[in-house]
Amino acid sequence: MLTPPIEPMLAAPLGSRIPVGPDISFEPKWDGFRCLVFVDAGGKVVLQGRGRSKRHDEIVDLAYAFPEVVDAVRERVPGGTVLDGEIVIQHDGRLDFGVLSSRLRPRSEAEGTNIARLADEYPATLLAFDVLWSGRDLTSEPFSVRRAALEALGSSWQEPILLTPNTTDRDVAESWFVGFESAGVDGLIVKPLDEAYQPGKRAQGKVKHLRSADVVVAGWRAYTKPGPDGEPIVGSLLLGLYDEEGQLHYVGGASAFTGRRRQELVALLAPLTCPDDHPHPWRGTTGVRIPGTANRWRKEQPWVALRPELVAEVEYDQMEGDRFRHGVTFARWRPDRGPATCGFDQLEVPPTADIAGLLAP
């Protein structure tokens, strides 16, 4: 039987247009924790997450954080099975990555009351979309064969373990892509039906929404490494949007810059630096999202305040509440736009949907 670690097969970006062609299938791209599930003959369950332990380069086993998933896998999935899937949490009719993240606790809490309480309050679901071993090694088989083997594990597919929907019908895939974005569907995964499972390779495709917005650049955060002269350089631009009451909310950052560009940005932004004793929309303000606040993942992060005068156009895929769900891409400066025109009202709002409509058997 296959044993951890195994690198999951990855997906290459295909833009925002759903491809057309024979011998491909589509699945929803879930907003959760990628996970390889190993069930040995003795019933031991390992939930291998992405990444490795920083100390010992060991796998990250998520089993401690999701005991309800482990129990269901041990009960329903035959020993000698390796699945590929995503752990998600359904909350208020959508997949909620924020609530999911709250399920990760210090390992010292394993089998403790906090994890048990969270499992009861916010139960997780495992969405299985591939099988690497089921009585035999399936990694060299085409996806069409692996999908059939996955569907054959029919007794396993009830909460909290579900089978990911799959279709070869582009119109159905488009209905998922458009209709369930508000419910937490992150895009589409495009799978060639004749492809073998290729660990660590981008042998699949992913389609995601691509949108643009004009935002206020109201601060910056330093890069992890200083510039050649030892001085801080720009790591990310801190972006804001105005609400209907005229309050500027922090909505995320843009950070994909070359080393030279990071240095150039320091010089560009320096005249706009807002001293500590000057007013700023993110200082001494209540009721708005601001950058740099501490949470259980990190300490408070310092940042440099800028007068909110610069406007930039950025590209993004989706919003999560009142912020960008992922990092955004800087497109260009917009000297023709005034900061006051950069409001939430410019953002596209996807149709409301309930994730249960996609996950129902």
| Active-site amino acid positions | 29
Q: From 84, 37, 80, 361, select the one nearest 204 (Cα to Cα).
A: 84
Burial 141-153 (b: 16+ CB within 10 A, else e): bbbeebbebbeeb
Kindly report the three-state secondary structure assignment for every residue of the chain.
CCCCCCCCCEEEECCCCCCCCCCEEEEEECCCEEEEEEECCCCCEEEEEEEECCCCCCEEEHHHHCHHHHHHHHHHCCCCEEEEEEEEEEECCEECHHHHHHCCCCHHHCCCHHHHHHHHHCCEEEEEEEEEEECCECCCCCHHHHHHHHHCCHHHCECCEEECCCECCHHHHHHHHHHCHHHCCCEEEEEECCCCCCCCCEEEEEECCCEEEEEEEEEEEECCCCCCCCCCCEEEEEEEEECCCCCEEEEEEECCCCHHHHHHHHHHHHHHECCCCCCCCCCCCCCCCCCCCCCCCCCCCCCEEEEEEEEEEEEECCEECCEECCCEEEEEECCCCCHHHCEHHHCCCCCCCCCHHHHCC
- Distance between CA atoms of 153 and 71, rounded to whole angstroms? 17
Amino acid at site 237: L
